[in-house]
Structures are given as C-alpha cells and as structure tokens.
Amino acid sequence: MSSRLGPIEIDCDAPPYAIVRACHMVGVRSAEDVRWWRLSEYLRQQIRWRDILRHPLKALKRVARGPGRCGCGEKLPSLEKCTFTRISGNKATYLIGQCPNCRTVYWDEPTAATVRPTRMSD
C-alpha cells in the first residue's frame, strides 16, 4: 500500500514556527492551520512565465484577479507591524495581515522603506 504513495510536496512560506504560534496574540486566527504567504514572494509569483507555460488557466485566473488580490479573490489585507519579544529578550519584527475571507496570512520582513525607526524604552 505504501508503494502507491508518492512524495508529498510541501509548500511552506511561513516565518519561524515560534512566530506562527505566537500570532494569535496579534489577532491572527487559526494561524497554525492556514496558508502563509510571504507577500513579496506572493506578488513575485503572480507573474511567472514558467507557470504561464505549465498551467496557463491557473496563471490566467491569477492575472484576471488583478494585482493586490488574495488567492480567494479578496483584496489583500493591509499588513501591520508586529514586534515579538523572545524569552531571551531579542525582538523580531514582522509585517502581518490576514485575509478576512479565506484566512490566508500574508507576512514579510520590514524594510527600511516600510518601517520608521522607533524609540526603544528599555
């Protein structure tokens, strides 16, 4: 029976698991059970020639939804800056947003252009 099973393709584009687990504290629902997309990668994959050649209908649907649309067709959520503090005291900042329709979570690491410097009080 096991010889009938082929390799399983795992498509994971999430931040470190500790961050995923902690995301309920910033309002993300079912964080461990939903799809995660790094926003920059998601936007990059919307137009890939390889996909157009391999799966033209799928690529056409993606383009037809227009830029800035979630895989379900909903407008992409705005990402909010969330800072997580580890037990060690180290902080990690991510931009996180969740689609209200399909609950896909979009995230990215902040860049100098998207995050203003903040004053640390500790």
Q: Is 29 in the site for Zn ion (CB under 5 A)?
A: no
Closest distance to Zn ion from the beta carbon of 90 (Å)? 32
Binding-residue total with Zn ion (CB under 5 A):
7
Q: How far is CA 54 from the centre of its chain?
A: 24
Answer for which of 72, 80, 86, 115 binds Zn ion (CB under 5 A) is 72
- Say how many C-beta atoms besides its own lie within 10 A of residue 111's C-beta: 9
- List 69's β-bridge partners, or say none: 75
Answer for which of 23, 99, 106, 107 binds Zn ion (CB under 5 A) is 99
What totals of helices (H) and strands (E) does the chain contain, helices first? 4, 4
Alpha-carbon distances, residue 76 vs 27, 43, 81, 105 (angstroms): 17, 11, 16, 10
Answer for which of 18, 25, 102, 115 binds Zn ion (CB under 5 A) is 102
Answer for which of 26, 35, 51, 74 binds Zn ion (CB under 5 A) is 74
Contact set with Zn ion (CB under 5 A): 70, 72, 74, 99, 101-102, 104
